[in-house]
Amino acid sequence: MREYRKLLFLVMILILAGIGIFTVLTFSYHESEIDVLMLNELTETVKENIESPEKLDLSRFETEIIVFGSNNRIIYSSAENKLKDIRSAEAALREGCLCLSVHEGSRFMGTIVIPDPSEASFYRTRLRLLAASGVMMLIMLTAAIIYGIYVQRTIIRPFRKMERFAVNVAYGMLDEPLMLEKNNMFGKFTESFDIMREELKASRQREKALKLKEKELIASLSHDIKTPITGIKLLCELLCVKAEDKYLLEKINSIHQKAEQINVLVSDLLTSSLEELGEIQVECCDESSEILHQLVREQDSRNLVREEPVPQCMIFADRIRLSQVIGNIISNSYKYADTPIDIRYRFREEYLEMSVRDHGGGVPEEEIGLVTNRFYRGSNAAGKDGSGLGLYNASQLMERMNGQLICSYREDGFLVTLLIPLS
């Protein structure tokens, strides 16, 4: 603010100086009055020598002079500028010249013509005014340029920096500080912006740390929950072997199915948490395509899968992760369609295409693009258990194996296509 006051003081000095120079140049010249004595002397000199024009010597009078005789003819002339085109006394009057009649008694002897002294004074005064105006305009222009440069450097440029800084903050780029300039009149304001940036950065770091801890907690709990679930499933299998009562066997199988449902949900949650933490490991290697048949058999707990023969080839995949993908798809079909499942294979460019199709109500066509989103559950999932992570996890795992999972709409079912890379 001190620099701004200094600049205003300098500009005011320049303006006052300009006004002073304008005033001096304007009023330093006073209009000259007509010299009556000079005019009387000139008239008397011409009167004495008008009969002998050759004796007229008017050079001592510092002005242009034309002398007309009584017959309106020029008998003497020292015209150079103003009077050079004058040929008669009448023309001199029209041009605004000063005409002096020469008389002796009542006899008219001639006319003396000289430039009007007041007109010459007017032209000189006008030149002075023009010069004063030019100087004043130059001073004002200089003051405006100085002020404009100052405003550009101390106001406009800092505001543009703050505008770019605000855009960076809006886009989450919080690492670049807002540099403070020594003569910035908005120093405190700029400093407050940078403090805001630092606070936002610290807040985001705290938020990121909390989210990381939350994900780690979910992953840890999911992993811990799987242990007792596995124990429950083993106990159910053991009881199924020992129990002979039919009613009791049904209840044990029901407990086993519920435990399996919980196991699938917890597995999906664990996989999603590990994927977000970047801890999920995918180790692809060359495998025979025969493993696909084995994986399908392992995941087909209800023996409803109708599978075509697998073409003989080598695929490049992670067996464990591929088993998770196939298990998620089959589990979803059992949960939402509860129909037989058809699996077909064919080659598609550099992929082995595996098509898994059920014959249930399917997913509405407008929701097909959303079913692989995290936590999304379609309109057909009402009343069904689930977290909306199954197809999301399967899609992520396929991408990590350089493959692809594609969901398609069918009027009589739901189709999931897996593109498995060939070796």
18 or 140, greater pLDDT = 140
Within 10 angstroms of residue 423's Cβ, the number of other Cβ atoms is 15
CATH topology of domain 1-173: Beta-Lactamase (3.30.450)
d(CA 271, CA 61): 117
pTM over 0.75: no
CATH 3.30.565.10 domain residues, the chain: 282-421
With 70 as the cut, is the pLDDT of residue 397 above it?
A: yes
Looking at the domain 186-280, which fold is it? Helix Hairpins (1.10.287)
Enumerate the CATH 1.10.287 domain ranges in the chain, comma separated. 186-280
Q: Tell me 368's DSSP state.
A: G
88: pLDDT confidence band, cut at 50, 70 and 90? confident
CB 23 within 8 A of CB 133: no
Residues 6+ apart with CB under 8 A from 119: 96
Residue range(s) occupied by CATH 3.30.450 in the chain:
1-173
Arithmetic mean of pLDDT, 210-232: 68
Distances (CA, A) of 191 to 107, 184, 194, 258, 306: 97, 11, 5, 60, 70
Take residue 341 and report the two structure tokens written for it. Answer: 């499942």
In which band, very low, low, confident or very high, does the pLDDT at 271 lie, cut at 50, 70 and 90?
Answer: low
pLDDT of residue 105: 80
Q: Which CATH architecture has domain 282-421?
A: 2-Layer Sandwich (3.30)
Q: Does residue 225 have a pLDDT over 80? A: no
pLDDT value for 4: 55
Averaged pLDDT, 270-279: 61
- Quickly state the pLDDT bin for 235 (edges 50, 70, 90): confident
